[in-house]
Structure 1
Amino acid sequence: MSAPETPREQRRPSAEEPRIARTREALESGLWELLQENELADITVAALCRQAGVHRTTFYGHYRNILDFAASVYADVVNGLGAVNVDQRGTGRTQEEVGVLYAEALRRILVHTFAERRVYRALFHTGTFHAVLADGLRPRFLLALYAWQAYGLVPAMDCEVAAAFLGGAYASWIEQWVAGEDDDVEAWLASLPDLLPGWWPRDGFPRV
Structure 2
Amino acid sequence: MAAPVPSLPPDAAPAVEPRIARTRCALETGLWELLRDHDLADISVSALCRKAGVHRTTFYGHHRNIIDFAASVYANVVNGLGAVDVDQRGTGKTQLEVGVLYADALRRILEHTFAERRVYRALFQTGTFHAVLADGLRPRFLLALYAWQGYGLVPDLDCEVAAAFLGGAYASWIAQWVSGEDDDVEAWLASLTSLLPGWWPRDGFPQP
Structure 1 and Structure 2 fold alike (TM over 0.5): yes
1:76-119 CA distances to partner (integer Å, 9 max, x unpaired)? 00000000010111100000000000000000000000000000
- TM-score, normalising length from structure 2? 0.92
Q: Which runs of 5+ in 1 are unaligned?
A: 1-11
- TM-score, normalising length from structure 1? 0.92
Deviation at 1:207, TM superposition (A): 1.5
CA distance in 1, matches of 2:66, 2:175: 20
Structure-2 residue corresponding to 1:174: 174
Q: Which has the larger radius of gyration?
A: 1
CA distance in 2, matches of 1:153, 1:172: 25
2:69 matches 1:69? yes
1:60-87 CA distances to partner (integer Å, 9 max, x unpaired)? 0000000000000000000000000101
Alignment of 1:58-207 (within 5 A): 58-207=58-207
RMSD: 1.1
Instruction: Look up the equivalent residue of 1:157 and give its one-letter code.
Output: L
CA distance in 2, matches of 1:170, 1:13: 28
Q: Which moved more, 1:178-187 or 1:166-175?
A: 178-187
1:159-194 CA distances to partner (integer Å, 9 max, x unpaired)? 000000000000000000001111111100000010
CA distance in 1, matches of 2:201, 2:62: 40
SS at match of 1:36: coil
CA distance in 2, matches of 1:95, 1:116: 32
Q: Which runs of 5+ in 2 are unaligned?
A: 1-13
CA distance in 2, matches of 1:49, 1:90: 43
The 1:190/1:13 distance shift into structure 2, 3 A limit, reads closer
Moved over 2 A (4+): none
SS at match of 1:67: helix
Count residues in correspondence: 195
Instruction: Look up the equivalent residue of 1:42 and give its one-letter code.
Output: D
Q: Which moved more, 1:75-84 or 1:86-95?
A: 86-95
Structure-2 residue corresponding to 1:45: 45
SS at match of 1:102: helix
Structure-1 residue corresponding to 2:19: 19
Deviation at 1:13, TM superposition (A): 5.4
CA distance in 2, matches of 1:13, 1:134: 23
CA distance in 2, matches of 1:143, 1:58: 34
